[in-house]
Amino acid sequence: MRRWAAKCLPSRPHPPTVIRARTLALTVATWNINSVRIRLDIVRAAVERLRPDVLCLQETKCQDDKFPLNAIRELGFEHIALNGQKGWHGVATFSKHPFTAVEKGDFCGKGDARHVAVTLDAGAGLDKPVTIHNFYVPAGGDVPDREINPKFAHKLDFLDELTAWDRLLADAKSPDGHAVVVGDLNIAPLETDVWNHKQLLTVVSHTPIEVEKLTRLQAAGPWVDVMRGFVPPADKLFTWWSYRSPDHTVNDRGRRLDHVWASRSLAPHATAMTVLKEARSWEKPSDHVPVALTFG
């Protein structure tokens, strides 16, 4: 194993959550990295473990002209789409396959770097071109009241704009191509997406109004929650553990804030999922872990 992997990985790693069905064709990974430049080592470690064809990062916190492109290309990603800004937000998508199109959405008129979409042609291994939308939905602050918390109001408005966005709806329903939505959507919609449903009903990320808006967004596509095709809705599934917890492995107080949705045409082609839970215990971790879905 390469030296950087030995440095970053635990000496006795726990196996990731892996559910596999059949031969792989295109693997798409998503991860809120929480500042890419200070976490390049664990990006390398995750790529070594997951071997994605496409890697989508959120909260990169890096301007485009400051992005560590050489390090990303060394990982085998020659095709790079960036939407960054100084110190905040930021999304980036890296691919081993060429893009035929790149698009950056601007929502709520704030100029925040929260979306980038790329389209891969059929040469990526699927029967039709696939468009991958990479989102970083606003977190929403601490108080779930839009009247006194502008951050929460921004989150709700952002979700409303996405639900009505013609481009996203067209991609979901296109007869000529497939589509995927990935990213940190900052909402845990199901009761089993949080460690304690009743305690978190008044906590931002699991409030009824957020869940209702995310559900409307999903239904508008309609989009298929392909993660829950591998882990039944009755079972717990987390991708985020707070930095405030002294040891997340003891109480396992997590939430599923990271999602992978597919258009109805693509969802039946999902063959494998990995939630790399061990990444939360790596050196200088993000509070999120990578999620990878394979389509073939």
Is 184 tagged catalytic? yes
- Choosing from 136, 171, 258, 287, the catalytic residue is 136
Q: Cα 271–179–112 angle (5° rounding)?
A: 120
**In the chain, what are the helix, strand and coil shares in percent, each to the nearest 5?**
30, 25, 45
Provide DSSP, 72-113: HHHTT--EEEEE--SSS--EEEEESS-EEEEE----TTS---
Q: Which of 184, 193, 258, 287 is catalytic?
A: 184
Coil vs helix vs strand at 6: helix
136 among known catalytic residues:
yes
Rounded Cα distance between 95 and 215, Å, is 29
End-to-end CA distance of the chain: 28
What is the distance between the alpha carbons of residues 90 and 63, in angstroms, rounded to a whole number? 8
Tokens of 215: 């559900």
Q: Which residues are catalytic?
A: 136, 184
